[in-house]
Amino acid sequence: MGQFNQRPFLISSQASTLFNGEKFCVFLDINNKSRLEGMFFECPSDHIYFPYFNSLAEKLERCPLSKVEEKLSQWLGEHESFFKTQFLNLPNFLLMRAFSEYTGADFNIESLAGDVSDKLICRCFGVFESQIRDYVLANESASVLDIADNLKATIGCGSCMDDVGEVLLRVKNQGSLASGESRLDSEFNSDGTRIMPMGLNPSDFVLKIDELKRKWIKEQELQRYQLEIVGIKGHNIFFNIEPQDNRDYILQTFKEYVESKLNLALRFDFTV
């Protein structure tokens, strides 16, 4: 048994889960000087994940909280080939969950990024908003599925699906507007004035629709469907819906919901 494969005397936070019928735990010992004294864990010594729990614990021993993100990034890079073959990066998943449960003073999990404005999107795999943004900027046709394949975000518990979609949409809209792509440009009224629904520019209006979309999907229990806004021209908004069964009914019902909420006549369609 390694020195970290044990329950420590002092526990600041902990997280556990059952995985393939076995229980795994991570314990954090964080001192009052904002330093992670140690990450400890419980994992069968003959389990395939044991050396990875142990190497992560060694990497993070006596690590300042401000350096955890850097150390974690190094560790993920060192073991990238292994975790690409696994359904879940269990050590990282439990580490993120333990940090999210920590209630120490002046600490929030987003600070692991070193930039308090950088939001942690996927707790299962430790994916931050900046990572998704950088990926989308480098891959203009990126989709949520592409992000899942390349960054692993969404393929754990799946609770971050909406947040990933929101970041993807926001980055695409900002990039399209900056580059002048017509599919996200406003249309103009006959007098030459720009159409601004509710007084909002296209990207902000799309985010408003996307916010309503997430609420509506939850209310209707339609989480198995992925509704992606792909363009806007004036009051016309264009969508992709996967899977495509019942997509016409879903889009029409959502349109009626949005119009009732905004008191605004809109047109929803599937193609730009």
The domain spans of the chain are 13-118, 181-269
pLDDT tens-place string over residues 176-202: 444 444 333 445 454 444 566 666 666
Pick from 48, 47, 43: nearest CA to 57: 43
Q: Residue 60 and residue 71: Cα distance in Å, rounded?
A: 7
The full 3-state SS of the chain, as one line of letters, equals CCCCCCCCCCCCEEEEEEECCEEEEEEEEECCCCEEEEEEEECCCCCCCHHHHHHHHHHHCCEEHHHHHHHHHHHHHHCHHHHCCCCCCHHHHHHHHHHHHCCCCCCCHHHHHCCCCCCEEECCCCEEHHHHHHHHHHCCCCCHHHHHHHHCCCCCCCCCHHHHHHHHHHHHHHHHHHHCCHHHCCCECCCCCECCHHHCCHHHHHHHHHHHHHHHHHHHCCCCCEEEEEEEECCEEEEEEECCCCHHHHHHHHHHHHHHHHCCCCEEECCC
Q: What angle do CA 104, 106, 109 make, to 5 degrees?
A: 75
pLDDT at 44: 92
CB atoms within 10 A of CB 107: 15
pLDDT at 191: 46
pLDDT at 120: 77
Q: In this structure, which long-range contacts are made by residues 25-31, counting pairs with CB atoms below 8 Å and at least 24 apart in sequence?
A: 25/94, 26/53, 26/91, 26/94, 26/95, 26/97, 26/98, 27/98, 28/98, 28/99, 28/102, 30/65, 30/102, 30/104, 30/107
pLDDT at 197: 67
Domain 13-118: top CATH class = alpha beta
Q: How far apart are the first and last CA of the chain?
A: 60
Q: Residue 1 and residue 78: Cα distance in Å, rounded?
A: 23
pLDDT at 247: 87
pLDDT tens-place string over residues 138-179: 887 788 888 888 888 888 777 788 788 878 877 776 654 444
pLDDT at 35: 87
pLDDT at 103: 55
Give the residues of the chain that fall short of pLDDT 70.
Answer: 1-2, 32-33, 103-118, 173-204, 234, 271-272
- Residue 271: phi and psi, rounded to 5, are -130, 150
